[in-house]
Amino acid sequence: MHGSHSFLSASPHILVIDDSPEDIRSLLLLLRQQSWRLSVASDARQGYQRAQALRPDLILLDVRMPGMDGFTLCRLLREAPVTQLLPIIFLTSSGALDERLEGLTLGGVDYVLKSCAPEEVLARIRIHLQLAQRGNAALVPAQAESVSTDQVVLRAAMRLIGQSLDSMPSLAEIARKVGTHDKRLSAIFREQLGMTVFAYVREERLRRGQELLADSEMSVQDISELIGFRSACNFSTAFRERLGVTPSQFRGQLQGMEQ
């Protein structure tokens, strides 16, 4: 064991998660020449376990891996307290814009092509280690709360649902994007929240609807589209069933209180 882990250690710990390390052999050789600790995982699940156990200072994460891809793993790492602040640099063989944007939207700090010169990747790693050291020193608790894998999957699914209200993926697709399958995801929602995934989606839509009615000037029609109802009429019916008033009455009551 190397003393107590922290960003204070002189030699940062880098975790590389890639199912084909031979693609980045020259990069790994260069990393091994630094005074850093280097760990390698060859698939996403092993990568997740190592990230939780080793608490590295930075993760280099391949996007395209069989089973669970890098985007799914990033969603899970962002919900686990131990790894939520870690800089994640995506490594990819594809420079497709939509992939780069997805990686950055999920909280990756950088996006590097595998064909990139190893020296450039090294320079980027140094930059992000320095930024993380400045930014996270005060934020990382000595004892991050421990959270079960089910809770991490649940949090990742809840965040994904919250971001996809207007065009909700299928249950199978949500499950795939958080690294599980539909039956398991349904069981996790029932065990942790006491409701089905569908019921949670409905609750979240109505909760967001209330927020938008209260905090924006948007029309009921626009709000209903934004939160994924087929029509303003459907939204009004569901809203009234849940809250006993129509969206317009709800907004009117709030405005009455403010006057």
* pLDDT tens per residue across span 43-76: 999 999 999 999 999 999 999 999 999 999 999 9
The reply to whether 193 and 89 lie within a common domain is: no
pTM of the full predicted structure? 0.82
Verify that 229 and 164 share a domain, yes or no: yes
Contact 89, 123 (CB under 8 A): no
Say whether both 120 and 169 belong to one domain. Answer: no
Residues 186 and 235 in one domain: yes
Verify that 111 and 66 share a domain, yes or no. yes
Element (H, E) at 62: strand 58-62
Kindly state the DSSP code that residue 144 receives in the 8-state scheme: P
Query: What are the pLDDT digits (tens) for 224-241?
Result: 999 999 999 999 999 999
Last residue of a domain, one of 136, 167, 200: 136
Domain region containing 197: 149-258
Q: Residues 154, 51: one domain? A: no
> Are 38 and 116 part of one and the same domain?
yes
Last residue of a domain, one of 136, 161, 190: 136
Tally the C-alpha atoms within 13 A of residue 198's C-alpha that lie toward its C-beta.
4
Q: Which of 41, 45, 32, 72 is nearest to 59 (CA)?
A: 41
At 47, is the secondary structure helix, strand, or coil? helix
Looking at the fold, whether 74 and 49 belong to one and the same domain comes out as yes
Number of domains in the chain: 2
Q: pLDDT 10s digit of each residue in the chain, 259 long? A: 444 444 445 689 999 999 999 889 999 999 999 999 999 999 999 999 999 999 999 999 999 999 999 999 999 999 999 999 999 999 988 878 888 888 888 889 999 999 899 999 999 999 999 988 876 554 555 555 678 999 999 999 999 999 999 999 999 999 999 999 999 999 999 999 999 999 999 999 999 999 999 999 999 999 999 999 999 999 999 999 999 999 999 999 988 876 6
143 is a domain residue:
no
For residue 174, the domain's CATH number is 1.10.10.60
Distance CA 43, CA 68 (A): 8
**Assigned domain for 6 exists:** no
In a domain, 144, yes or no: no
Residue 32: both structure tokens together: 């091994």
